[in-house]
């Protein structure tokens, strides 16, 4: 596992990207899209998990335009959360989506790739994975407890790539009325599969976190693995 740099398409510079390679190649690539805490220990663990499944894991530094290499840990106190929300509020989502698209392009062309690249995001990253499904040419997209998806669904977007949604029933950041709008908005769309996990809160799949739920995470991760194999090989 190591860092590479990818050029931003708007000429603003180059951003860091964590890379973990699988044992067998060529392989499909997965662009992992961070929570609001930067490329922290959870993202490193996810990179290892994705590489262990046989995919190239690419995790771009999405907050680099504000501050390069942000690393915050949600279980280390309120100050970490306050910094994380400040970075989220300062994040330009359209420029971030362009950086994700640049990472997707890199994943397709890098040595060891089979030419297929998908996205997988969590929280803010889950929202960006949704946007990647409508705004990039990614081969597939996975959104774990994405935030503010009801607003995106209201725009009646056209999905360019398949999307898998994991929704936490008790998500404190996505209330029941928002969940209802999301489910209604994607119902019947052949490119979207949505699953609601009963009784679990936001970040239920973050191992070791305060909302970790082993059963829901195992089910969601199994669905994710099958989805990635189907579309990325």
Quick one: how far is CA 99 from the chain centroid?
13
Per DSSP, helices labelled H in 136-169 are 149-154
Domains in the chain, number: 1
The one catalytic residue in 139, 171, 201, 213 is: 171
Active site residue 99: no
Looking up residue 85, the CATH number of its domain turns out to be 3.40.50.1820
Domain extent, residue 106, equals 2-232
Per-residue pLDDT of the chain (233 residues; tens, 9 = 90+): 899 999 999 999 999 999 999 999 999 999 999 999 999 999 999 999 999 999 999 999 999 999 999 999 988 889 999 999 999 999 999 999 999 999 999 999 999 999 999 999 999 999 999 999 999 999 999 999 999 999 999 999 999 999 999 999 999 999 999 999 999 999 999 999 999 999 999 999 998 888 999 999 999 999 999 999 999 99
The one catalytic residue in 106, 150, 202, 213 is: 202
Active site residue 202: yes
Q: Residue 27: in which H helix or E strand, if any? A: strand 27-33
């Amino acid at each position: 596992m190591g860092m590479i740099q990818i050029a931003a398409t708007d000429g603003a510079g180059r951003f860091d990207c964590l890379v973990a390679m699988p044992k067998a190649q060529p392989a499909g690539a997965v662009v992992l899209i961070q929570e609001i805490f930067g490329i922290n220990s959870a993202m490193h663990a996810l990179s290892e998990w994705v590489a262990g499944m046989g995919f190239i894991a690419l995790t771009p530094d999405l907050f680099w335009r504000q501050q390069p290499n942000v690393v915050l840990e949600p279980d280390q106190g309120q100050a970490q959360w306050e910094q994380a929300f400040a970075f989220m509020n300062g994040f330009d989502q359209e420029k971030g989506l362009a950086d994700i698209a640049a990472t997707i392009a890199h994943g397709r062309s890098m040595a060891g790739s089979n030419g297929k690249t998908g996205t997988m995001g969590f929280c803010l990253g889950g929202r960006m994975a949704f946007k990647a499904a409508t705004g990039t040419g990614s081969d597939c997209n996975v959104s774990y407890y994405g935030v503010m998806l009801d607003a995106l669904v209201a725009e009646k977007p056209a999905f360019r790539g398949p999307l898998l949604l994991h929704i936490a029933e008790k998500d404190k950041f996505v209330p029941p009325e928002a969940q209802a709008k999301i489910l209604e908005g994607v119902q019947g769309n052949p490119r979207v599969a949505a699953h609601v996990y009963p009784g679990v809160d936001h970040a239920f799949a973050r191992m070791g976190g305060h909302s970790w739920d082993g059963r829901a995470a195992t089910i969601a991760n199994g669905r994710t693995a099958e989805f990635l194999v189907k579309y990325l090989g």
